Amino acid sequence: MYWKYAVRRLIHVALTYVVIIFIFSALFNTVMETTLRAQITERVQGEIVSRTQRMAPEQLARFREERTQHYIKLYHLDEPVALRIFWRAVRTLSFDFGNSTIITSSSGERKVSVIVAEAIPRTILLFTVAVLIDIVVGVAIGIKQAQKPGGSLDRATSMATMVVYGLPTWWLAMVLIMLLVYKIALFPSGGMHSVPPPSGFAYYLDFLHHLALPVLTLVVVGFWGRAYLTRNIVLGTLQEDFIMAARARGLPESKVLYGHTMRTAAPPIVTMATLSILFSIGGGLIFEGIFSWPGMGRIAATEIGAGHPVQHTHGHRNRRRHQADPGGPFAPAMAPLQMSRPQESVPARSRTRHRPPPAAGRAKKTASFPTRTAVTLIS
């Protein structure tokens, strides 16, 4: 009976996931199509660059139009909106996320699905292992607290929870790196392996050595809150009437605790643990950056630093330029230069005022701002 219920719930979850994917595909249809057209423009321009010396301008224009139409049909951009949304959702459900423009896998692959599949196991090794240790330690301490409420262990751990649970994980990570890496030199500062990595069984010992400090940091921050929540759940169950009746019948305390109390208190504890395990797959953007851990958070940090998601080709500024002139030359190296406008195109009140020449020993600095206007600053 239970397996039938589990199967029904899994089917319900799968259907809900499919519906959510279709909804997101419809909501972000315009953004995704704009990005996709920018990718098509870049790909076609890349094909044209290699043929510039061998083809006449008329042939290049015809070749550009043919290749653009080919990619438009390939990505279903010539179909009605409903069909475009459908095909985009199908690609998402089949894990076809496109290609990366700046990140490659260890084998040189640019497919986003391959890059993510390579990073997820590393994130699981760090965050999921830390969450599992966090669950075991937190539940065990929470049960001990609930057995003797108001005792020395309960007071000490409750006080520590109020202090440690509010600490930023990244701050504690830097403090532990300073103490355990540079002061005592017990652990390496980051990464997954030494350089060069050892071979044989020493390879796995070296990996565990690099894994120890990040896991220790996550466990130290996380298990206090879990222990306090477990303590409150178990303590509330121990005060129920059926627990008092079980004790009145002379049952051993271990039987009362693990046979009656935990069976009632288990559902919220298991739900909390399951959600923590699922959320751990996403990684930690700042935390992985501190320890140079090549997981999902590191990919997100790299893409945020680049200014666009993995499967995107350009930022918003370049996409607007492509929409205005889709057939113009594509030169990403000239993008910083295009941020500056000629002086006559700048409104009169926004032009740089005449200033006296700087004094001796003072240097000029020129900074480009996203307003596309070159501004001269005198430091």
Residues 9-41: pLDDT tens digits?
889 988 999 999 999 888 988 888 888 888 888
State how far the Cα of 267 lies from the Cα of 14, in Å rounded to an integer: 22
Contacting residues for 115 by C-beta, under 8 A, at least 6 apart = 100, 103, 104, 105, 109, 299, 310
Domain boundary among 249, 277, 303: 303
Name the pLDDT band for 136 (thresholds 50, 70, 90): very high
pLDDT score of 318 = 40
Same domain, 270 and 342: no
Q: Could you tell me if residue 28 is inside a domain?
A: yes
Same domain, 28 and 175: no
pLDDT score of 213 = 92
pLDDT tens track for 75-96 = 888 888 888 888 888 888 888 7
pLDDT score of 2 = 63
Burial class for 146, CB neighbours closer than 10 Å (0-12, 13-18, 19+): buried
Q: Residue 320 — φ and ψ, nearest 5°? A: -65, -35
Residue scoring higher pLDDT (363 or 18): 18
pLDDT score of 307 = 57
Same domain, 81 and 120: no
Same domain, 128 and 154: yes
State how far the Cα of 103 lies from the Cα of 299, in Å rounded to an integer: 8
Structural domain boundaries, residue 36: 2-98
pLDDT tens track for 303-345 = 777 655 554 444 333 433 333 333 333 333 333 333 333 333 3
Same domain, 167 and 297: yes
Same domain, 296 and 239: yes
Same domain, 50 and 156: no
Name the pLDDT band for 135 (thresholds 50, 70, 90): very high
Same domain, 123 and 154: yes
Same domain, 230 and 362: no
Q: Could you tell me if residue 107 is inside a domain?
A: no
Average model confidence (pLDDT) for the chain?
A: 77
Same domain, 153 and 282: yes
Domain tally, the chain: 3
Q: Could you tell me if residue 228 is inside a domain?
A: yes
